[in-house]
Chain A
Amino acid sequence: NAGVTQTPKFQVLKTGQSMTLQCAQDMNHNSMYWYRQDPGMGLRLIYYSASEGTTDKGEVPNGYNVSRLNKREFSLRLESAAPSQTSVYFCASSQGPYNEQFFGPGTRLTVL
């Protein structure tokens, strides 16, 4: 099992560009999450999906959109990237909302 995979691993964008971060899990989990990690901070929740077909905002959703494409995949889109979105992005999944969350390897995004 690959667990949770994320693509790309690294990305550099210019201000105003758009991009989509991809996440997939092969553990048949129901819930999926997107977090961001900034220097000196713990992870903060951007969006989550409790189950296929549902998404909800987390603590820091501004500037992002998400799509739960199917049970396996949960993508995060930046429509117009800003330097404040420079961060490391983690995707996670869990069987249910109160189960252990398994994390992907992260995507380091730099917005110039």
Chain B
Amino acid sequence: AQTVTQSQPEMSVQEAETVTLSCTYDTSESNYYLFWYKQPPSRQMILVIRQEAYKQQNATENRFSVNFQKAAKSFSLKISDSQLGDTAMYFCAFLDSGGGADGLTFGKGTHLIIQP
């Protein structure tokens, strides 16, 4: 079974700063997908960014980018020019591409607080 570890339960930065959230995972698979989801106080789960393991290029979405290190099994999320609306829980998630709709395996989350 896959495991996803987020080692930072909570982080706090000032508005406009850059922040990096860490995620490591454990798998024996060679092909898989990784995701970062945002959960604001509204409780809605929102996809931030997605990375396919077979792609060497790191995914980017506007102010959000990832540093995917396949050999190290590391998948960190960088948020540039942080905004107050980025305050939320952030979950790293793993999806096995070995077959079947197995659902996502989530980490325990990092509570990110953007201070004004």
Residues of A within 8 A of B (CB): 31, 33, 35, 40-45, 48-50, 56, 58-59, 88, 90, 92, 94, 96-98, 100-103, 105-106
Considering only residues 29-60 of chain B, those with a C-beta below 8 Å from chain A are 33, 35, 42-47, 50
Given A42-B93, A105-B44: A35 in contact with B103 (beta carbons within 8 A): yes
B71 beta carbon closer than 8 Å to chain A = no
| Residues A103 and B45 in contact, CB atoms below 8 Å apart | yes
Given A43-B91, A98-B33: A58 in contact with B103 (beta carbons within 8 A): yes
> Please, how many angstroms separate the alpha-carbon atoms of A90 and B43 in the complex?
10
Give 7 A-B pairs besides A94-B101, A101-B47 with Cβ atoms closer than 8 angstroms.
A41-B106, A45-B102, A45-B104, A45-B105, A58-B102, A58-B103, A98-B33
Task: Using CB atoms, name the residue of chain A closest to B4.
Answer: A42
| Residues A90 and B45 in contact, CB atoms below 8 Å apart | yes
A50 touches which of B44, B100, B104 (Cβ 8 Å): B100
